[in-house]
Copies of this chain bind each other. A is one copy, B any other.
């Protein structure tokens, strides 16, 4: 097997430079690559285009990069819950491209599966359709949307092996596998890194061929955005 292990976040992001286009996995704060985001903040790389379903919160996730004005453009489906984001957007410091969540996911899939474009009905008849090719199949209109072209995809998995195979836990899977397939260079941080052979080949979510660098992350905070509970039955 080919060994994809790097020492840590710093080495993993070593060649991400100003102006790069990054995909960042996660949904809300769930399943985000915490270690790599912190390393990007430390490195201070600027003018990034970030493709990520959400933009974090003020003091966590991509919000940390926004605070340092490292992000030039966000491509997301939903960017609420972030006051600094709002300030930068309204002041014109930050560009935002809002696209439907399914379109976001499928444009990642398209990149990972070598399909230059896909068709989706999402956004037909809305401002999302402006300037896009519309095509009718079987009586229904679809927009043609292009595969993403990202320099780096940065994802967070639960377990990974030295060959780059990844397994995600519960709904922290979300965008991580489709982004892992879509980066020119894919970086995976995992909660537990094991030797090749320790993961069952039948239950790999992302085959190692899609992953270029992998490392075991540390100090995961795994913050909860909306803690909703019911009373314990006694």
Contact = CB atoms under 8 A, between A and B. Distances in A.
Contacts of A167: 202
Interface string A101-145: 000001001000111111110000000000000000110101000
Q: Is the interface of A mostly helix, strand, loop or mixed?
A: mixed
Contact of A115 (B120, B169, B203): B120
Contact of A137 (B117, B119, B203): B117
B116 A115 contact: no
A118 B137 CA distance: 12
A91 interface: no
Contacts of A140: 116
A202 B169 contact: yes
Interface string A137-179: 1101010001000000000000000000001111001000000
A158 B203 CA distance: 13
Contacts of A142: 116
A202 B115 contact: no
Contacts of A118: 115, 118
Given A106-B115, A115-B120, A116-B142, 17 more contacts: A106-B113, A109-B113, A114-B120, A115-B119, A116-B119, A116-B137, A116-B138, A116-B140, A117-B137, A118-B118, A137-B146, A167-B202, A168-B202, A169-B202, A170-B202, A173-B202, A202-B203
10 closest pairs, A vs B, by CB?
Answer: A116-B137, A203-B203, A116-B119, A115-B119, A115-B118, A117-B119, A116-B142, A169-B202, A170-B202, A117-B137
